[in-house]
Amino acid sequence: MSETNKMTLIASKGTFDWAYPPFILASTGVAMGKEVSVFCTFYGLNLLLKDLSKLRISPQGNPAMPMKMPFGPKWFQAINFGPKIPNVMWNIPGLELFATSMMKKTMKNNGVATIEELRQVCIEMGVKFIACEMTIGLFGYSREDFIDGIEYAGAATYLDVAHHSTQDLFI
Amino acid sequence: MSHQTIDMSGHNCPMPILKTKQALAGMNAKDTLEVICTDKGSTKDFIAFCNQTGDVLISHREQDKQFIFNIEKS
């Protein structure tokens, strides 16, 4: 494959919402004929965990997050509760889980694939995932925590891959 | 030459593109694929997709809130 058709992503975030952009771009990139490598570092390692169900979206310190209910009559669903709820409320245990389940429901209603589905498509289509060895040690993970078929390497490996690529995104 | 149809109604970005790619992968050159979507961004995305893959977007139209694409595999 020509060098002009390679793409790399650095996935550095590990919340439920930020799991989407790397998987969407990686799978679409492969679908469009690119050879895609995703370097997962720091919180981005979460994307490679066997169990993705623990990923959360947090409304805390996240004022851009629209908060609309995925059920009820149309007028009710149109209300954005985000600016109406004091941010300190999100300190209450369980509300982060609630917000995550509301977001999952909203995504389902809108025909957005789950992160598990998107990751599976990425793997089937040949996206190469590289887990950052340094952050695995730093955060006390072991290789058993991660899915099979991924590579383990460091910054130099990423930079070498990126050297031959024309599209590189930090997410 | 064969013809296939996939219905991606109700599925949002990027699934219509991914399923299209998977369907095209199982087809031969000159085979045609019809994709039905409801994703409002799909028209621009399918033009861009074919632009990159070299497959030919023979036609695209909007009808009853559906976007219908005809693609010929290159």
Contacts of B17 in chain A (CB under 8 A): 28, 31-32
Q: Which of A42, A29, A34, A6 has the alpha carbon at shortest distance from A155?
A: A42
Domains of chain B: 3-72 (3.30.110.40)
B23 touches chain A (CB under 8 A): no
B37 among known catalytic residues: no
The verdict on B26 touching A (C-beta cutoff 8 Å) is no
Window from A2-6, A47-51, B20-24, B34-38 with minimum mean pLDDT: A2-6
Residues in a beta bridge with B69: B35, B60
Residues 6+ apart with CB under 8 A from A46: A14, A15, A19, A52, A55
> Does residue B59 sit at the A interface (CB-CB below 8 Å)?
no
pLDDT of residue A3: 52
Q: How far is A152 from chain B (nearest CA, A)?
A: 27
Tell me the mean pLDDT per 10 residues along chain A, length 171. 80 97 97 96 97 93 90 92 88 92 93 95 95 95 95 93 94 97
Structure confidence at residue A1 (pLDDT):
44
B52: nearest CB among A33, A113, A121: A33
Q: Which domains does chain A have, with CATH numbers?
A: 3-54+114-170 (3.40.1260.10)
Cα A19 from Cα A56, distance rounded (Å) = 10
Length of chain A: 171
Query: Which chain A residue is nearest to residue B15, measuring alpha carbons?
Result: A113
Cβ atoms of B29 and A129 closer than 8 Å = no
